[in-house]
Amino acid sequence: MTKKNADYLLKITPVGGVGQIGSNMTLVQSQKDCIIIDAGILFPYEDFFDINYLIPDLAHIPEPSHLVITHGHEDHIGAVVDVVKKFPKIQIIATPFTLALIRKKLEFNHLQAKLVEYKVSDELGFHEFNIYPIHVNHSIPETVGLLIKDQKEKMGLFFTSDFKIDHVSPYERPFDFQKLKRLSANLESRLLLCDSTNITSSALTTKGEAEIIPVMDELFQQAPERIFITCFSSNIHRLSTIINLAVKHNKKVVPYGRSMISYLNSANELGMIPNFEKAVRMPETVKGDTENLIVLLSGCQGDFRGTFRRFCMGEDSIFKPRPTDTVILSSKAIPGNEKKISLLLNKLAEVNCHIFTPQTHLVHVSGHPGRKDLLELFSEYKPHHIIPIHGETYFIREHIKFIQEEYPNAQTHYILNNDELTISQDLKLKTTQCEHFEPILIHGKGIEIQRPRISERRKLACNGAIFVSLKLSSTKAKVESFTYDYLGLPDLIHETDDKFNKFLNHYFITINFKDIEAATEDLRVAIRKYFDQSLGYKPMTTVHVL
Amino acid sequence: MTKKNADYLLKITPVGGVGQIGSNMTLVQSQKDCIIIDAGILFPYEDFFDINYLIPDLAHIPEPSHLVITHGHEDHIGAVVDVVKKFPKIQIIATPFTLALIRKKLEFNHLQAKLVEYKVSDELGFHEFNIYPIHVNHSIPETVGLLIKDQKEKMGLFFTSDFKIDHVSPYERPFDFQKLKRLSANLESRLLLCDSTNITSSALTTKGEAEIIPVMDELFQQAPERIFITCFSSNIHRLSTIINLAVKHNKKVVPYGRSMISYLNSANELGMIPNFEKAVRMPETVKGDTENLIVLLSGCQGDFRGTFRRFCMGEDSIFKPRPTDTVILSSKAIPGNEKKISLLLNKLAEVNCHIFTPQTHLVHVSGHPGRKDLLELFSEYKPHHIIPIHGETYFIREHIKFIQEEYPNAQTHYILNNDELTISQDLKLKTTQCEHFEPILIHGKGIEIQRPRISERRKLACNGAIFVSLKLSSTKAKVESFTYDYLGLPDLIHETDDKFNKFLNHYFITINFKDIEAATEDLRVAIRKYFDQSLGYKPMTTVHVL
């Protein structure tokens, strides 16, 4: 990021979420203020081998006073713990349900932070700007967009966060265009930071949550026996649909999996699940063979340690798939997880379960706007400037192309993570390309693992490893004994052990152990070459000389 | 597989391709005949770390006399080399283009085999059945379905192979329903082994190759400068479309990447590319900055070592992406490759290339039948029995459900790899579930790597490795010296080296090296536990005591 430049009104820096899907975090600065909006994680987007998640690199941002959260998805709150560790004085501002989720996270990590609750009707005042929460629709309750206005009310910047437009949701009112328009109508300049997630989707309008209900109703009616449903645990409205239909069909709902139970309890504690007592039963109170069961499985992305996967693989101790089971995937694969999920469908198909997916039935709707929905927002808010956010670079470019073609009234601006968008006192916009920082990989007990270490892991996985130890005679003149181990190498290699032993013994004679370091490296290189000839690749080789 | 059972007319055993997409191989046996149809590879369907491919386990099939090939895709011919190694006497029967591809494969591997060319008009005679090739459409030229009829012409089994129905292809005649009907009309029993690849696709009818032409034409017209296109190198008709349009727009076509050049040359040698001389130039003859270039990039699946990836990453020495470049993805992601490809699109978007994909433009059509196409085949051939093949287990089940709902005239039969379908002398069908064998993983120089070794690789990649060596005193009473190395572990671990040294020294005192094996194992377990406490996972640990 550049040094504080003279006299801007507002400076916006996406720290995460622009140029990638996830790890949403946006820095908003005025001369006197420095806050961040959201603190999300990024799910591993390429093969990082079992790491937990990625977070934006926090080393390069100034200390923010506040963290304002738009909604409780992991890609918006997952890095709260990391932010609190880095900036212990930060105040976290969120709506009740989101705050409940954050509180659990902090407790789990034995961390404390100043938490402040806000309601969508509130106004959040800072030194030089105010933030007006605007109710939007999404796939988790209490999602808000944020309208940021300078004190003089010349300029407004509407940060959509993730959103959709649902005019007929049974669970919440539609996107609050009225409030947005009321608060922005008289502004000289209206800016829009807008969700790009579904810009390449062929669905121009995103369907409403209500459209799932008759489909689920029919599937519940048809189901010969037990019903298993997997969806995002945070999709409380989806869970409500299922629980309400369970009451109608006289079935019991069992949340199964840590996150499913946790989200459902959080929502219920805030009174968001009216039929909870009537229909929901905890897994320890039911037997696997009860007929009238609807089991809600967490891990809809096929996660390796997830409940959905365990069920499909037949590895769960209570619930094993049966031909009479109905299995509904009420969620879509996040890009990268398609194959993992389809392999699980095969497992269910082997058993001959009744399988229903979003590809064949309307059992899932997206939480993001299609292109026509975007146009609806544009025509309501009438932005002068649009800056696409929340999307991979390709999506950001496609979004800009779309705006240029379909809403030429607005000027478009292209920024990625770490770049700056500056709004001057006279409301001119400037984008500045800055140094880009790679997200940080977190593994195990919340520990950063560096990319060169991931490269080592990749080499180990792709080429296997050989460990060789030698014991020199006291004069270092000869090798007294040696031993070696192969890891991850084909069994064939054991058949040629004699040859390898001969090779080593022959090599030891030629080598001078006076310079142990050089001798060790020579031997290491020679062993790699030796195996390359037979295997076609060089195992990672470590040699110890003692 | 079961032992030869009494008195069947024909026995069909899918060796690969049923319950998975790829490694297509089908065993066809009568009392006196044993042949296989196709010998394909399976692309890695989960994280097998850089292996080349998978092949069906050939240890469990009887020796076939002939291998009849339906078309030249890798999932139908990729394992020919492995089959020839296992069954050196086998005769390989294929059409001219396919045979040219197989010949290259064998030459590359310094292998010889008896090769026999057939034309689609030929009849292939065996002891107890004849095979009649039927021309079908697909995404590679010279694709044939095979109608197998017993000598008495009571029964016919039509093996579709991969197919689509293209009534208006500019490059080949439509699926030869006339021949299929003529040869099967009078049979008592008609069986169909039918492609399931697109059964869950929302496109009910697969579009024809011709429909791409006007779209490509328009894109070529618009392109401000160079055009880069990636598609399957074997899609010769697609390449013809591009080359023909290049002539029209006065552009030159440069195939770039080993497989693109190889396929194009093979097709040209057989006279399949009329405009080759006029438009095609080899990469060494052109400069990267020529304006009127169309560059055909191989590696459309984003393969790690592929040309398309190298270009996108800006790592190619001749062609670097520029904002004036048009990049067309004329292929779809094979499930599992979506994310890999989308990351490459991001790289192109950073440069601001003009990107066109099948999601936004009709620049690709599938090579497999939609559900309406399947019904067209059913109503033409009028099968009594349908056995879905070529698909994952979920697809096979969905295909059966579809037939039961939409074509109840036919009986459906469910078999997976290694199962048997027996047709008795009186034309009764029986399916027998048999032991299933996992496909074999091939890595490096065509060497089998066992699944337990892959598990080791996974552990190395997910948990890193520690390698510790100790040198004992001559009496084995104490440790004289030791050394250790970390592989793939977070940098943090180096900060606690002192603590680890203390831990080891302390541990050495407590341990009794009389039983070296037990002592080594104790130490290994203790080290793993030690690191688990700080990291949250146990590195793979190897201890050498000398």
A-facing residues of B in 165-204 (CB < 8 A) are: 200, 202
CB B105 within 8 A of CB B80: yes
Beta strand pairing call for A91-94 and A66-68? parallel
By C-alpha distance, the chain A residue nearest B471 is A546
Please judge whether A537 and B393 are an interchain contact, meaning their C-beta atoms are less than 8 angstroms apart. no
Rounded CA separation A70/A39 (Å) = 10
Q: Could you tell me if A466 lies within 8 Å of chain B, comparing CB atoms?
A: no
Residue B1 pLDDT: 44
Yes or no, beta carbons of A392 and B349 under 8 Å apart: yes
B458, B487, B535 ranked by CB distance to A444: nearest: B535
- Which residue in this structure is represented by tokens 């069994």? A491
Mean pLDDT of B123-146: 98
Of A357, A445, A467, the CB nearest to B535: A445
Q: Does B515 touch chain A (CB under 8 A)?
A: no
What is the interface pTM, i.e. ipTM, of the complex? Answer: 0.93
**Are the beta carbons of A535 and A489 closer than 8 angstroms?**
yes
Hey, which residues does B159 pair with through a beta bridge? B146, B193
Sign of CA dihedral B122, B127, B130, B133: negative
CB contact under 8 A, A542 and B485: yes
- Nearest Cα residue in chain B from A49: B462
The residues in B 119-148 lying below 8 A from A, measured between CB atoms, are none
pLDDT of residue B20: 85
Mean pLDDT of B257-277: 97
Average pLDDT over residues B41-55: 91
Q: Tell me, what's the pLDDT at A266?
A: 97
> pTM for the whole thing?
0.94
Residue B192 confidence (pLDDT) above 50 = yes
Nearest chain B CA: its distance from A363 CA (Å)? 15
Partner-chain contact A447 B536, CB within 8 Å: yes
The answer for B 414-443 residues in CB contact with A (under 8 A) is 416, 443
Per-residue model confidence (pLDDT) at position B123: 97
> Which of B301, B312, B350, B394 should we substitute to test contact with A (largest number of A Cβ atoms within 10 Å)?
B394
All residues of chain A having their beta carbon less than 8 Å from the beta carbon of residue B109 are none
Closest Cβ–Cβ partner in B49, B456, B490 for A448? B490
Distance from CA of B344 to the nearest CA of A (A): 9
Q: For chain B, say whether A528 makes contact (Cβ under 8 Å).
A: no
Using a CB-CB cut-off of 8 Å, the residues of chain A touching B357 are 200
Residue A3 pLDDT: 47
Best mutation target, A471, A517, A531, to test chain B (most B CBs within 10 A): A471
Contact residues on chain B for A456, CB-CB shorter than 8 A: 464, 487-488
Specify the higher pLDDT residue, B44 or A241.
A241
Q: What is the pLDDT along chain A (546 residues), one digit of tens a residue?
A: 444 556 899 999 999 999 988 899 999 999 999 999 999 999 988 889 989 999 999 999 999 999 999 999 999 999 999 999 999 999 999 999 999 999 999 999 999 999 999 999 999 999 999 999 999 999 999 999 999 999 999 999 999 999 999 999 999 999 999 999 999 999 999 999 999 999 999 999 999 999 999 999 999 999 999 999 999 999 999 999 999 999 999 999 999 999 999 999 999 999 999 999 999 999 888 875 677 999 999 999 999 899 999 999 999 999 999 999 999 999 999 988 999 999 999 999 999 999 999 999 999 999 999 999 999 999 999 999 999 999 999 999 999 999 999 999 999 999 999 999 999 999 999 999 999 999 999 999 999 999 999 999 999 999 999 999 999 988 888 899 999 999 999 999 999 899 999 999 999 988 888 899 999 999 999 999 999 999 999 999 999 999
Put simply, the answer to whether A542 touches B359 (Cβ < 8 Å) is no
Average pLDDT, chain A: 95
Asked whether the beta carbons of residue B445 and residue A536 sit closer than 8 angstroms, the reply is: yes
Kindly determine whether residue B349 and residue A397, on different chains, have CB atoms separated by under 8 Å: yes
Q: Which of B208, B215, B212 is nearest to B168 (CA)?
A: B208
Q: Tens digits of per-residue pLDDT, B368-388?
A: 999 999 999 999 999 999 999
Q: Which amino acid is at A256?
A: Y
Structure-block tokens of residue A8: 């801007």
A270-277's contacts with Cβ under 8 Å and 24+ in sequence apart are A270/A96, A270/A97, A270/A100, A272/A97, A272/A141, A272/A236, A272/A240, A273/A236, A273/A239, A273/A240, A273/A243, A274/A240, A275/A240, A275/A243, A275/A244, A275/A246, A275/A247, A276/A243
Percent of chain B whose predicted confidence (pLDDT) is above 70: 99
**What is the tens place of the pLDDT at every residue in A256-285?**
999 999 999 999 999 999 999 999 999 888
